[in-house]
Amino acid sequence: MDPQHIRNFSIIAHIDHGKSTLADRLLGLTGTVAARDMEAHSQVLDAMELEQERGVTIKASAVQMHWQAPDGEEYELNLIDTPGHVDFGYEVSRALAACEGAVLVVDATQGIEAQTLANLYLALEHDLEIIPVVNKIDLPTAQPEEIKLELAALLGGSLDEVVLVSAKEGTNVEAVLRAIVARVPPPSVPTGTDTPLRALIFDSHYDSYKGVIAYVRLQEGEVDGQTPLLMMATGTKTLPVEVGVFAPEMKPVRVLSGGEVGYVATGLKSVREARVGDTITSARNPAVQPLVGYQPAKPMVFASFYPAEADDFADLRDALEKLQLNDAALTFEPESSEALQFGFRCGFLGLFHMVIAQERLEREYAQDLIITAPSVAYELLLVNGEVREIHRPSDLPEPTLTVEVREPWMEVQVITPNDYLGAVMEIFRRKRGELLLTETLDTKRVLLTFEVPLAEMVVDLHDKLKSATRGYASMDYTFDGYRADDLVKVDILITGTPVDALALIVHRDLAYERGSALIRKMKEAIPRQLFEVPIQAAVGGKIVARVNVKALRKDVLSKCYGGDVSRKRKLLEKQKAGKKRMKMLGNVVIPQEAFLAALRLD
């Protein structure tokens, strides 16, 4: 395809503003997906079961469409979908690097939200042409003209550039295609026939037959299924299985050329050999310089995943390895804990990423998991001058060995109706947040910029914000930097033994409050045993709070006659099986829920 007739673009939006519905419409309008298939399978791009259920896009995907524009010319339109959640901002950035334009969708009933801004700024960083679209104009509460003004003001453009659509009803969607063709610049491809291939891998997934499928944007040159390829960063050479495009399912083509978007089925067995961000070139006629790649995403939220049954450790490792093939940002390393035995310390981009990983492990890989409370990556300045990063609270050394303990801080932008301003401020105050900026967005809403420690965010900030504002506030966040503070380790002791998996790092001012809240939760979660079980919270080795789980006094069925034998026996068998799934700490039996108690701290 002549690069002049190629348009590469993304759709960016705040969650639920209708990005996937618009994408579906574009696929239908261009005949990429037949209308009747659309009915059966709405939100074509969201292939994963989880994506469809949660209504969010988790992984970027790329679809090729062909459309005959009013000028009579046929265009190849490559829609590169972006994840809709802030944890995946890094993946958004990757997808945007493969585009020249972005369709910015805003809900006509909601207006600009926190992620609208965050995604817009990312797109502008990549010098993309922005096509503003106001969606859901069919809804009775829609205020298209007001939102149009907001958008024009935000982008500094003219009102005429804003396209008003109802993706659900199919109203005016073609205007979006026209705007893409007219305004998104074609890819710039150097002329000359023997330019060596350079293709940027912006995403990948693993296919058990074709190996790693690299999603590529060709900068220049050509790739076909016959020529050996070289991964420039890793030096891996491979003969690809095939090349193709997503239409939207994988469709092999003979050749992909400069400016195009598609896939290379590499045949490689590990994503480590064909990393996202690497440049693919020809092994016979290699390029000299790779394209500018990406910094690998750095996980900052950590939690331990343990198999519910110790025997399933190897299964969990296999499942994590497979998941990692499709989730480059996930990290994991084996660890052991006295209570939970053998498991993995996993790193995530954020809490949502963690929840998605957990659900995928449970559903797609049938793993039964115990997950510890999430923590963050801390940076330590030791007395010997060394700087060390730790990924679990129990690794925090004695206070005498550290000069500074630093934690990641985030810059958080919140858009909230004025009515909830006080509630939002209070939530952030309790989370050690600092208000940097208050901006008036319109007559009803303000944009607040806070700084807040990530550790305070990971527990329940998003839920708290949503419930305090009845769902009206939206937020987005970016990493701001590490800051030293008076951070201490809170140990939780059960019958006098510290339980690694329950240790916390918190600000000294909150240590007592958090420690006692956690042990109260533990008391609820630990069943009474045949003896009294003391649970203590200690700060720096000093006990600050204690509760006791009283000894069990009564556990017997008082009625048991001839007709009860089977039922009674089955009850005991169930009790016994339940106990088997619990964890032993010394002679104390601890159910899995106890480890989740820290997740639900109020």
Distance between alpha carbon 504 and the CA centroid of its chain, in Å?
Answer: 23
Complete DSSP assignment for 78-103: EEEE---SGGGHHHHHHHHTT-SEEE
Candidate segments 154-162, 173-181, 468-476, 552-560, binder of other proteins by CB under 8 A = 552-560
**Residue 563 engages other proteins in binding (rule: CB under 8 A):** yes
Instruction: In angstroms, give the least distance from the CB of 574 to other proteins.
Output: 9
Report the alpha-carbon distance of residue 402 to residue 384 in Å, rounded. 9
By the 8 A CB rule, do 410 and 452 touch? yes
**Residue 560 engages other proteins in binding (rule: CB under 8 A):** yes
**Residue 34 engages other proteins in binding (rule: CB under 8 A):** no
Among 191, 384, 471, 554, binds other proteins (CB under 8 A): 554
Q: CA separation (Å) from 586 to 446, 492, 493, 534, 555?
A: 54, 15, 12, 13, 22
Count of beta carbons in the 10 Å neighbourhood of residue 464: 18
**Residue 523 engages other proteins in binding (rule: CB under 8 A):** no
Torsion of CA 471, 476, 481, 483, to 10 degrees: -10
Instruction: In angstroms, give the least distance from the CB of 586 to other proteins.
Output: 14
Q: How many residues does the chain have?
A: 602
**Residue 569 engages other proteins in binding (rule: CB under 8 A):** yes
Phi/psi-derived region of residue 221, left when phi > 0, alpha when psi is between -120 and 50, beta in every other case? left
Report the alpha-carbon distance of residue 83 to residue 93 in Å, rounded. 10
User: What three-state secondary structure class fits 154?
Assistant: helix
Instruction: In angstroms, give the least distance from the CB of 564 to other proteins.
Output: 8
Q: CA separation (Å) from 406 to 387, 451, 457, 505?
A: 10, 15, 16, 11
**Residue 550 engages other proteins in binding (rule: CB under 8 A):** yes
| C-beta closer to other proteins: residue 508 or 567 | 567
By the 8 A CB rule, do 69 and 181 touch? yes
Report the alpha-carbon distance of residue 61 to residue 81 in Å, rounded. 5
Among 565, 581, 584, 586, binds other proteins (CB under 8 A): 565
Instruction: In angstroms, give the least distance from the CB of 326 to other proteins.
Output: 42
Instruction: In angstroms, give the least distance from the CB of 549 to other proteins.
Output: 13
Cβ-based neighbours of 140, under 8 Å, separated by 6 or more? none
**Residue 168 engages other proteins in binding (rule: CB under 8 A):** no
Among 572, 581, 584, 586, binds other proteins (CB under 8 A): 572
**Residue 548 engages other proteins in binding (rule: CB under 8 A):** no
Complete DSSP assignment for 392-454: SGGG---GGGEEEEEEEEEEEEEEEEGGGHHHHHHHHHHTT-EEEEEEE-SSSEEEEEEEEEH
| C-beta closer to other proteins: residue 193 or 558 | 558
Instruction: In angstroms, give the least distance from the CB of 595 to other proteins.
Output: 23
**Residue 530 engages other proteins in binding (rule: CB under 8 A):** yes
Record the tokens describing residue 367, joined without a space: 């793993």
**Residue 193 engages other proteins in binding (rule: CB under 8 A):** no
| C-beta closer to other proteins: residue 74 or 564 | 564
| C-beta closer to other proteins: residue 165 or 533 | 533
Candidate segments 177-185, 308-316, 389-397, 566-574, binder of other proteins by CB under 8 A = 566-574
**Residue 524 engages other proteins in binding (rule: CB under 8 A):** no
**Residue 573 engages other proteins in binding (rule: CB under 8 A):** yes
Complete DSSP assignment for 497-528: EE-GGG-EEEEHHHHHHHHHHHHHHHHHHSPP
Instruction: In angstroms, give the least distance from the CB of 579 to other proteins.
Output: 8
Candidate segments 6-14, 361-369, 439-447, 564-572, binder of other proteins by CB under 8 A = 564-572
**Residue 584 engages other proteins in binding (rule: CB under 8 A):** no
Candidate segments 162-170, 252-260, 391-399, 555-563, binder of other proteins by CB under 8 A = 555-563
Among 557, 581, 584, 586, binds other proteins (CB under 8 A): 557
Record the tokens describing residue 558, joined without a space: 């008082």
Instruction: In angstroms, give the least distance from the CB of 558 to other proteins.
Output: 4
Q: Summarize as ranges the residues that interact with other proteins (CB under 8 A).
A: 530, 550, 552-563, 565-566, 568-569, 572-573, 575-576, 579
